[in-house]
Structure 1
Amino acid sequence: MTDSDQIRRVLRENKTLAVVGLSANEMRPSYFASKYMQDHGYRIIPVNPRYDEILGEKCYPDLTSIPEPVDIVD
């Protein structure tokens, strides 16, 4: 199995992503990448103490504040 195959498998099997430091600025790579993933069916949970909401999702100040299971942390 190649690295690309492993990445595809991980992304196919995991749909909830917490993105630490996600920016609300549409020009930032973290926003663009998270928006792309959200548009393709992934649940994005923003983690940034500076915001209340990003991408229409409640923003949490830290990982321990997220009240639900997370599959991947970025």
Structure 2
Amino acid sequence: MATLEHLRYSPELIADILHDTKTIALVGASANTARDSNEVMQFLQRKGYRVIPVNPGLAGKKLLGETVYASLHDIPEKIDMVDIFRNSAAAGPLCDEAIAIGAKYIWMQLGVTNEEGARRAEAAGLTVIMNRCPKIEIPRMIR
């Protein structure tokens, strides 16, 4: 369970992250259009973000015009934000991968929290958002 400090984010922090981010690795991307990860990926692309899907089961295929990678380590370019559509237990190791690839931000989707991973990422200089969805936050924060 996340502490309250990790569930309270100022509107300014959210807006700064969303303005600064250009490239997003979406972990848990799905080809199924009924899945939230697919809908969010489409939304983020429409908003001008480059979204690189990560899903080992789809690695090497194309999803919404982008090549799918098996892991964050496989992505050959700089990633600003890692958007996690996996369960809370999986988010901890993904935080470590995000640190290793030099991401600036980790964004855990609604229902996803990992306090230990967040602490490690923050200690490494990353900013972590948990239990939020950029598809919900963007209309609130970006005018």
Q: TM-score, normalised by structure 1?
A: 0.92
Query: How many equivalent residue pairs?
Result: 73
Please give the alpha-carbon distance, in whole angstroms, between the structure 2 residues aligned to 1:54 and 1:5: 32
Q: What corresponds to 1:32 in structure 2?
A: 39
User: As a proportion of its length, which structure holds more helix?
Assistant: 2
Q: What corresponds to 1:43 in structure 2?
A: 50
User: As a proportion of its length, which structure holds more strand?
Assistant: 1
Higher RCO (C-alpha 8 Å, min separation 6): 1
User: Is it true that 1:14 corresponds to 2:16 in the alignment?
Assistant: no
Displacement of 1:53 in angstroms is 1.5
Larger Rg over CA atoms: 2
Q: Deviation per CA, 1:13-45: give whole Å up to 9, x if none.
A: 111000011001111011111110100100000
- Identity, % of aligned positions: 44
SS at 1:46 equivalent: strand
- Which structure 1 residue ranges, 5 or more long, are not aligned? none
Corresponding residue to 1:57 among 57, 66, 75: 66
Which amino acid in the other structure matches residue 42 of structure 2? K
Q: What corresponds to 1:67 in structure 2?
A: 76
Aligned-pair Cα RMSD in Å: 1.0
Which amino acid in the other structure matches residue 41 of structure 2? S
